[in-house]
Amino acid sequence: MSADRSTPNTPPAAGGAASSGGPAPAGDTELIRFDAVTKRFGAHTVLDALDMKVYSGKHVTLIGPSGSGKTTILRLLMTLLKPDEGTITLGGRYLTHEEKGGKLVPASDRYSREVRKNIGMVFQQFNLFPNMKVLRNLTEAPVHVLGLDKDAAEERARELLELVGLTAHLDKYPSQLSGGQQQRVAIARALAMRPQVLLLDEVTSALDPELVAGVLDLLRDIARSTDITMLCVTHEMTFARDISDCVMMFDAGRVIEFGPPEQLFTDPVHDRTREFLSAVR
Amino acid sequence: MRFDWSAVGAFLPTFAKGLLVTLQALVLGSLIAFALGLVWALAQRSPLKAVRWPVTAFTEFVRNTPLLVQLFFLFYVMPEWGLTLSALATGVIGLGLHYSTYTAEVYRSGIDGVPAGQWEAAIALSLPRRRTWTAVILPQAIRRVVPALGNYVIAMLKDSPLLFAIGVLEMLGEARQFSSQTFQTVEPYTVVGVAFIALAYPASLLLRALERRLVR
Amino acid sequence: MSDLTWGLWELLISGVWVTVQLTVYSAALAAAVAFGIGLARTHRRWVVRFLSGAYFEIFRGTSALILMFWMFFVLPMGFGWQLVPMWAAVLTLGLTYGAYGSEVVRGAIAAVPAAQREAGVALSFSPGQQLRKIVLPQAWPGMVPPFNNLLIELLKGTALVSILGVGDLAFGASLVRNATAHSAPVYTIILVLYFVLAFVLTRGMRAVERHAKAGVGQAPGRRSPLRLRSGPSGPAVTGTAAPAEGDAR
């Protein structure tokens, strides 16, 4: 089951055959694909010719020691970083490249913005816009990116605020909310764009311990009730086990092991996985 | 030391005229400095070297050479280029241009001070570049630089007497004219000197209060 | 530029010399005032702090040109002694920029961790020894970059003396302009000369900064070669804007 690069015919395919038990019909189409993606920071190679696939509607959790490249994957998908080598596709379209005259060239700003509209992200530090009230944090992008009219955007925003349980706070500034409330607003803000893919980057790491549960419950709820594809970097192993169709174990820029959570958490193949799991528990 | 209060009384009407001109120059000069400074700051972040480099060189040059000489330059050279403006208009442009190179630095530090996460959130929401600047980055950057901009308004106030050198009858110009007509020297210059402190000190107290409120 | 004769060039060069002299004398006076007032503003006794604070507020609120006029025209009328324009200028610039400089000194001293003073107390240093041996050597590197900014402001400020008829660089410009048909060349030359002076000052201050930082074991900061200054500090107007640009931290 090891997904070493020396066996290129079996790239980790999250939510593929390994999780065929589920009824998800969306799970047959490949949504995200990394082809030999390398990312370096100076002399340090964070991702080393990574191949990976994620099927539509699946929930994938990335685990591994810090610096192993998990967050880099999310940031590459959000085009916050550019790969040094290799290509990334979303629904068959290149994300950071575009085809011009049969050749692959780095994507223009406009092209990659068009593709990444389908991806939403929730950050560790929330990154709400402090100069906008809660409601406008949610309507800003739908109005100015999707072209929704203001009323429709507000209606959608109110629905989402109800979902995250913050209807009472829509007229407040982010700084007037607790960390947990801010993070729930940030989740609603990402959902307001109706993304196909939701990236969750250690979304509970900056929260006080007593606020973590509320945010995780909300995410469990979203995972259950929608068909959004989720990529999640977290240190909350119980949460990972609850929501994931597939868990990928990273080490030193490679996927060293992947599989359904019940298998990977209880009976890991790789020594590094075993060490890591016993260390975080 | 004799201080003739009747001379103060006689000077007051012309002083009031001068004060009005000083405030005009200050307000218009500030508007130019605020607007042009933002243009410089954005140009200095341009991805194009051909924009960034000349703008940086120009603003560095203007910032590090005397306003007085720049005023003379504008006053004598612009007409040679076929552009004749009133002394006040020339002075306002000179003041605004000179201080725009300071406000550019203020904006620059304000923009650099917006957390990287704000840019990332804007990217994650696919906000267009222009919208990211106008709705996310600039409102936050400008909020944190308001006190610093205010400081430069006070600095401009204190440099506004330089306009007298190109013939603008602001406070100092009126004082000079009054003393050459009446041979009263002590009173007009003292009134003008006190007027500057009376304007600048409360303004700086106000700014400090504002700074405490805006900068968390 | 062709109608600039050798005689006119000579005029400009003697103007440069006067500007350099003005800058050096005023800077020396300003440095003395800056340290005197700056230290007084950190004094134990409130009277000393109050008086030095009042000095700072008054000179910071005053326009340098107005003060110069006052020194030149009012002082002789009121007190009966006439200042040579050159010295009226040096006094004005020195007292004014000294006030700005006192804020730099005060800020840099305040930025030295209190624990350092406490260590001095623990070693039974006298207050004077604490200042000379512990506080000032640590505060000094943080003062140099803002001092550089103020020095350039001072250099620019010296141009004001031409209004009083002192034959400095800016004054030379008006003489030359009267002698030639065109203003553009002479004013361009003058501006460039001022810029060159500012550049030379910056180079000098950077050497001082390197030396100062090496004295406390820090590496010198890197700057863009295009930029003459660090950060957006001009004449500091409010006291709360820390002038020490983080270098003092």
B205 located within any domain: no
CATH number at residue B143: 1.10.3720.10
Domain around B121: 20-169
The DSSP call for residue A231 is E
CA distance readout (Å), A59 to A26, A56, A244, A254, C165? 12, 9, 5, 19, 80
Examine the pLDDT at C50 and tell me if it is beyond 60: yes
Nearest chain B Cα distance for residue C221, angstroms: 17
Averaged pLDDT for residues B156-182: 90
Confidence of residue A14 (pLDDT cuts 50, 70, 90): low
Confidence of residue B215 (pLDDT cuts 50, 70, 90): low
Spell out a b/e string for B131-168, using b for 16 or more CB atoms within 10 Å of the CB, else e.
bbbebbbbebbbebbbbbbbbbbbbbbbbbbbbbbbeb
**Amino acid identity at C94:** G
Which residue out of A79, A117, A127 would a mutagenesis test of the B interface target, given it has the greatest number of B Cβ atoms within 10 Å?
Answer: A127
Chain B residues lying within 8 Å of C159, measured CB to CB:
66-69
Does the reported pTM lie above 0.80?
yes
Examine the pLDDT at C241 and tell me if it is beyond 80: no
Averaged pLDDT for residues B48-57: 94
Averaged pLDDT for residues C175-188: 81
- With CB atoms and an 8 Å threshold, state whether A120 touches B124: yes
- With CB atoms and an 8 Å threshold, state whether B56 touches C174: no
Q: Where are the alpha helices (H) located in B160-185, listed in sequence order? A: 171-182
Nearest-by-Cβ selection for B185 from C60, C77, C224? C77
Chains B and C touch (3+ CB pairs under 8 A): yes
Confidence of residue B53 (pLDDT cuts 50, 70, 90): very high
Q: Which residue has the higher pLDDT, A3 or B75?
A: B75
Q: What is the pLDDT of residues C8-35, one digit of tens each?
A: 788 888 889 999 999 999 999 999 999 9
B207 located within any domain: no
- B135 Cβ under 8 Å from any chain A Cβ: yes
**Amino acid identity at B102:** Y
Rounded CA separation B66/C21 (Å): 17
Chain B residues lying within 8 Å of C69, measured CB to CB:
172, 175-176, 189
Averaged pLDDT for residues A29-33: 91
**Amino acid identity at C100:** Y
CA distance readout (Å), C57 to B27, B80, C61, C99? 23, 43, 6, 8
Among C135, C145, C116, C125, residue whose Cα is nearest residue C206: C145
Nearest-by-Cβ selection for C194 from B69, B157, B179? B69
- With CB atoms and an 8 Å threshold, state whether B148 touches C67: no
pLDDT over 70 percentage in chain B: 98
- With CB atoms and an 8 Å threshold, state whether A145 touches B135: no
Chains C and A touch (3+ CB pairs under 8 A): no
H or E segment to which residue C114 belongs:
helix C114-122
Mean confidence (pLDDT) of chain A: 86
Enumerate neighbours of C (3 or more CB pairs within 8 A).
B
- With CB atoms and an 8 Å threshold, state whether B201 touches C183: no
What part of C 148-177 touches B (C-beta under 8 Å)? 152, 155-160, 162-163, 170, 173-174, 177
Give the DSSP letter string of A33-68: EEEEEEEEETTEEEEEEEEEEEETT-EEEEE-STTS
Averaged pLDDT for residues A88-109: 85
Rounded CA separation C242/C12 (Å): 38
Among C1, C24, C7, residue whose Cα is nearest residue C192: C1
Q: What's chain A's length in residues? A: 281
Q: Which residue has the higher pLDDT, A101 or B42?
A: B42
Confidence of residue A138 (pLDDT cuts 50, 70, 90): very high
Q: Which long-range CB contacts under 8 A does A160-164 form with residues at least 24 apart?
A: A160/A188, A160/A191, A160/A192, A161/A134, A161/A135, A161/A185, A161/A188, A163/A188, A163/A191, A163/A218, A163/A221, A163/A222, A164/A188, A164/A218
B103 located within any domain: yes
Averaged pLDDT for residues C153-157: 94
Averaged pLDDT for residues C192-218: 89
B6 located within any domain: no
B145 located within any domain: yes
H or E segment to which residue C192 belongs:
helix C184-215
- A129 Cβ under 8 Å from any chain B Cβ: yes
Q: Which residue has the higher pLDDT, B44 or B215?
A: B44
Count of domains observed in chain B: 1
A-chain residue closest to B130, CA distance: A144
Instruction: Tell me the domains of chain C and their CATH numbers.
Output: 15-167 (1.10.3720.10)
- A106 Cβ under 8 Å from any chain B Cβ: no
Rounded CA separation A147/A114 (Å): 13
Examine the pLDDT at A18 and tell me if it is beyond 70: no
